[in-house]
Amino acid sequence: MEGVDTIFCYPGGATLNITDALYHSDIHQIVVRHEQAAVHAADGYSRASGRVGVSLVTSGPGATNTVTGIATAYMDSIPIVIFSCQVNTMLIGNDAFQEADIVGITRPCTKHNYLVKDVKDLARIIKEAFFIARSGRPGPVLVDIPKDVSAASCDFKYPDKIFLRSYQPTYVGHAGQIKRLLKTIAVSKRPVLYTGGGIISSGASQELLKFAEKLSIPVTNTLMGLGGFPGNHPLFLGMLGMHGNYAANMAITESDLIIAIGSRFDDRATGKVDEFAPRAKIVHIDIDPTSISKNIKVDIPVVGDSKNVLKKMLEMLDDNKEDFENFQQNITDWVQTVNHWKNNYPLTYTKNGTLKPQYVIERIYELTKGNAIISTEVGQNQMWAAQFFKFLKPRTILTSGGLGTMGYGFPASIGAQVAFPKSLVIDIAGDGSIQMNIQELATAVQYNLPVKIVILNNRFLGMVRQWQELFYEKRYTWTHMNHAPDFVKLAEAYGAAGYRITEEKDVDDVLHEAFNNNKTTIVDVHVNPEECVYPMVPAGAPLKDMLLV
């Protein structure tokens, strides 16, 4: 009914009625080793495929173990439906064995949630759950099903469609506002397109590309927007923000018009709010009206779906060509300035005879030519991947942007590999974060999922260590991982393949072999332990105040 072909699950006593009903089902059931991984895998499946991801867990600790995964999806607006099972309805509120109020617990981090009290309501609630998850600004929806409800029966009647009076997302932008923003663009001299994850979720990448090329406006992405505009395009400035490219951050600072599409002005992207784009008018296009002027005051708001609004902008552009007759000429100096920043302040790193993590990312890109799905963990590995891998297409980066969840990348890569069994899926990890959900090696091996895990092993919790180096006089409290496992032996213990790289000369050969086998694979890359991520905007500083080395 909803096109579900895969459920990521973990069984328990309260799930038995449902798991038994699925025994003869055509739905692919991936049994993970931890419930958090079930939700991350559903999340990764959704980000990679564009479909709603689904997970199923038992009551009590099974349900509470999902909270981190749910909050991760909520912060990044990812459509998933989580089915948690619950104790019998007559036991709810009695502190029964493995009872937890998962509806109350997840209320702050779900788009909506349900406790099913009558089996007759179950079909309608499932229809509503999928509708809410995928519509408007997407997000996670939880459905809690007591065991006696899952044991009951009724005549099955699945609704053809859903109408919720209190929930009517606006998809079509106001024509008057769109005309107003186009007139504002026409008279601007230093415009920048600032695009986020909404470009990905609405499928607006082609419209964005056409619009940017038509007017030759430079484009920057947030972390969540990477892949929404080709990373090798001449108009692309790279990612903006705390670890953004110099050109992107300076373009925002010096711009006279920011055209923000599908982004929420996250603090990691804006830096010091009071000094964000101080010379610019700001246009904000977003399907979520609550995001507009929430963090940054907006001059021209447009509520609507990014794809629909961009289509309308392109149509109006053709109908009002006379307004843009001198536009290209007016922004010539701006384009030259932006290109000067790009050419003179590129992303770089110092080669000093040690194996640098940035080099490893560059070689992954060159070996794959960008034709891979990349997941990341969180920290330095995440930022180096965002900086040095050129994401050419949407839905090719899976990363926890809002919550910053260590342990996200590996189970997310499992979800992506399930969605695209023939694609190359690579998890770029750190030696700290990979251990958060490393038990999922058993899941990947059991289901013959050839996920590749490239560990940038610096024997530190690298991003926290970087802050300690820069701001805490190198007092490396709690960040030195002085006892880590032998990741090659660990991979082999699970039945996966394991490789180790310690020298730059071996990078290409080992990665080529790892990427071309058909097994779950760990590549343990021993990199410079004190390498830092640059550029860096210190916390609370404006984007222009970047540390470059």
Q: What is the pLDDT of residues 367-388, one digit of tens each?
A: 999 999 999 999 999 999 999 9
Question: Which of 456, 499, 453, 457 has its CA nearest to residue 481?
Answer: 457
Query: Cα(283)–Cα(298) distance, rounded to whole angstroms?
Result: 6
Query: Cα(468)–Cα(390) distance, rounded to whole angstroms?
Result: 29
Of 111, 147, 312, 390, the active-site residue reads 147
* 175-340 placed in CATH 3.50.30.30: no
According to the model, what pLDDT value does residue 501 have? 98
Query: Cα(194)–Cα(76) distance, rounded to whole angstroms?
Result: 17
CA angle at 129 for the pair 126 and 135, rounded to the nearest 5° = 140
Mean of the per-residue pLDDT values of the chain: 97
Beta strands 281-286 and 257-261, pairing class? parallel
What letter would DSSP give residue 371?
A: -
Of 35, 99, 128, 207, the active-site residue reads 35
Could you report the per-residue pLDDT of 257-311, keeping only the tens digit for each? 999 999 999 999 999 999 999 999 999 999 999 999 999 999 999 999 999 999 9
Q: Which fold has domain 357-526?
A: Rossmann fold (3.40.50)
CB of 449 within 8 A of CB of 81?
no
CB of 285 within 8 A of CB of 306?
yes
According to the model, what pLDDT value does residue 1 have? 81
> Does 147 participate in catalysis according to the annotation?
yes
pLDDT band at 320 (very low <50, low <70, confident <90, very high): confident
The first and second tokens of residue 370, run together, are: 């960008």
Query: Cα(30)–Cα(123) distance, rounded to whole angstroms?
Result: 23
Q: Where are the alpha helices (DSSP H) in 159-255?
A: 175-186, 197-201, 205-215, 246-254
Q: What share of the chain has pLDDT > 90, as a percent?
A: 97
> Does 530 participate in catalysis according to the annotation?
no
Of 224, 239, 406, 463, the active-site residue reads 463
Architecture of the domain defined by 6-151: 3-Layer(aba) Sandwich (3.40)
According to the model, what pLDDT value does residue 400 have? 98
Query: Cα(546)–Cα(549) distance, rounded to whole angstroms?
Result: 9
357-526 matches 6-151 in CATH topology: yes
pLDDT mean over 94-108? 97
Q: Which amino acid makes up residue 379?
A: G
pLDDT band at 239 (very low <50, low <70, confident <90, very high): very high
According to the model, what pLDDT value does residue 132 have? 98
Could you report the per-residue pLDDT of 326-361, keeping only the tens digit for each? 999 999 999 999 999 999 999 999 988 899 999 999
Q: Find all residues with CB under 8 Å of 161, minimum gap 6, and list them.
A: none
According to the model, what pLDDT value does residue 484 have? 86
According to the model, what pLDDT value does residue 296 have? 95
Q: Residue 321: is its pLDDT beyond 90?
A: no
Q: Residue 236: is its pLDDT beyond 90?
A: yes
pLDDT mean over 196-224? 98
Of 98, 177, 439, 446, the active-site residue reads 98
Could you report the per-residue pLDDT of 385-421, keeping only the tens digit for each? 999 999 999 999 999 999 999 999 999 999 999 999 9
Of 97, 189, 351, 366, the active-site residue reads 97
Neighbouring-strand partners of residue 236: 219
Map out the domains of the chain as residue ranges.
Answer: 6-151, 175-340, 357-526
Q: Residue 483: is its pLDDT beyond 90?
A: no
pLDDT mean over 107-127? 98
Radius of gyration of the chain (CA): 24
Q: Residue 143: is its pLDDT beyond 90?
A: yes
Which of 38-42, 60-64, 326-330 is the least confident region?
326-330
Query: Cα(30)–Cα(140) distance, rounded to whole angstroms?
Result: 19
pLDDT mean over 160-183? 95
Report residue 318: phi and psi, to 5°: -65, -35
Could you report the per-residue pLDDT of 500-519, keeping only the tens digit for each? 999 999 999 999 999 999 99
> Does 440 participate in catalysis according to the annotation?
no
